[in-house]
Structure 1
């Protein structure tokens, strides 16, 4: 991507696992999607993460912890805190 545009930014969406190539949301940065994270500018994880996943993801990302984006679902479908206007409940 950067060969065609040096200012480009690539964010990977947490979906396809690096080890199997299958669609399996991980909801966090872990061993199954770190290979993608290492090859792009950031990762946007699926919105059905658990309370501990932001800290786990940040620890795994180390100095790139600000490159991990946690998804939310404003409709609250399996979202920590219930979604809607409760995003402030996120640790």
Structure 2
């Protein structure tokens, strides 16, 4: 696999997860209360909370949280299937 393809796949997976999360939240906001709304709006946060390092003249803050929901996972699977179909 070429470096260009790996970069494209990484960017596509990240965009797929972000777009899937947005779609899941938008669809979930229009649904009535129930199991389907919970499926679309329930998300898991993976990562670590912001860490702050205060020095005399500088303050560094570092943190990363990834919020994954059902539609994000579906979009990631779609990107992987599309990538395998297109490049292999």
Range class of TM-score, shorter chain: under 0.3
More strand as a share of residues: 2
Considering fraction of residues, name the structure with more helix.
2
Greater relative CO, 1 or 2 (CA 8 Å, sep 6+): 2
Using the size of structure 2 for normalisation, the TM-score is 0.25
Q: TM-score, normalised by structure 1?
A: 0.25
Larger radius of gyration: 2
